[in-house]
Structure 1
């Protein structure tokens, strides 16, 4: 597992081309890895959100937990 890259919903939304509200909904729906708070904003692990985005984009089921998504990313790295 790589070290988490902390991002807010607004930052992740800009990087993934999604609305911040979409990022927050994904975080709620898929139990995205939350790293804490920065002021009033929740901070998430960017790699976890990017994995959720990739699964949705491909039409694949989104793994239920951050740990399962970590394993999915590790499988991609091993395959490459």
Structure 2
């Protein structure tokens, strides 16, 4: 799993990511199933997710865009949106 050094993964539990995105932790776990959200590992029984990947999923849904099916495609979407924002 290669990461862009300008966009490193940001570890978060389902509860923490849910609180930041104003979603339930159950919603975060469902997104993990549905969209194959990037998981960084486990701490005890808690799964650690990449918050940036979850935020990208949330952003696509908020804008009414299709959610890219893989974490790598969402990485590319984030990089493209960042480049567009910097060019403006």
Shorter-chain TM-score: what band? over 0.9
**How many positions carry a matched residue from both structures?**
80
Bigger Rg over Cα: 2
Q: Which runs of 5+ in 2 are unaligned?
A: none
TM-score normalised by structure 2 residue count? 0.89
- TM-score under structure 1 normalisation? 0.98
Q: What's the offset of the Cα at 1:51?
A: 0.1
User: What RMSD over aligned residues (CA atoms) do the two structures have, in Å?
Assistant: 0.5
Aligned partners of 2:69, 2:44: CA distance in 1, in Å? 28
**TM-aligned CA deviation for residue 3 of structure 1:** 1.2
Which fold has the larger relative contact order, with Cα–Cα distance below 8 Å and residues 6 or more apart in sequence? 1
